[in-house]
């Protein structure tokens, strides 16, 4: 039996956090995850044919030591 799918995983992965804005890994367009998380995720899906691999919560600490919740999406480009 041959199974090539496992070794042919998505070769480029992007992370969109509601805590961070930064450039698109593909086209360097600035993606503002803070004000437009959904739009940033959708940019990868619509403009670059990425697929959603994972959506979850991430907890970090702010400057005052308080807990800061953010939503994170992990996207991978289809081979």
Residues at the contact surface with Zn ion, assessed by CB under 5 A: 24, 26-27, 29
For residues 18 and 75, which CB has a smaller minimum distance to Zn ion in the complex? 75
Angle at 66 between CA 65 and CA 69, to 5 degrees: 130
Smallest separation, CB 3 to Zn ion (Å): 31
Phi, then psi, of 62 in degrees rounded to 5: -85, -175
Residue nearest to Zn ion (CB): 24
Angle at 74 between CA 51 and CA 62, to 5 degrees: 155
Minimum CB distance to Zn ion, residue 39 (Å): 12
């Amino acid at each position: 039996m041959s199974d090539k799918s496992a070794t042919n995983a998505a070769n480029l992965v992007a992370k969109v956090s509601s805590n961070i804005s930064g450039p698109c890994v593909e086209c360097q367009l600035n993606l503002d995850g803070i004000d437009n998380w959904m739009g940033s995720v959708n940019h990868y899906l619509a403009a670059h044919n990425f697929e959603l691999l994972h959506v979850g919560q991430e907890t970090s600490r702010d400057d005052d030591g308080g807990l800061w919740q953010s939503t994170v999406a992990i996207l991978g480009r289809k081979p």
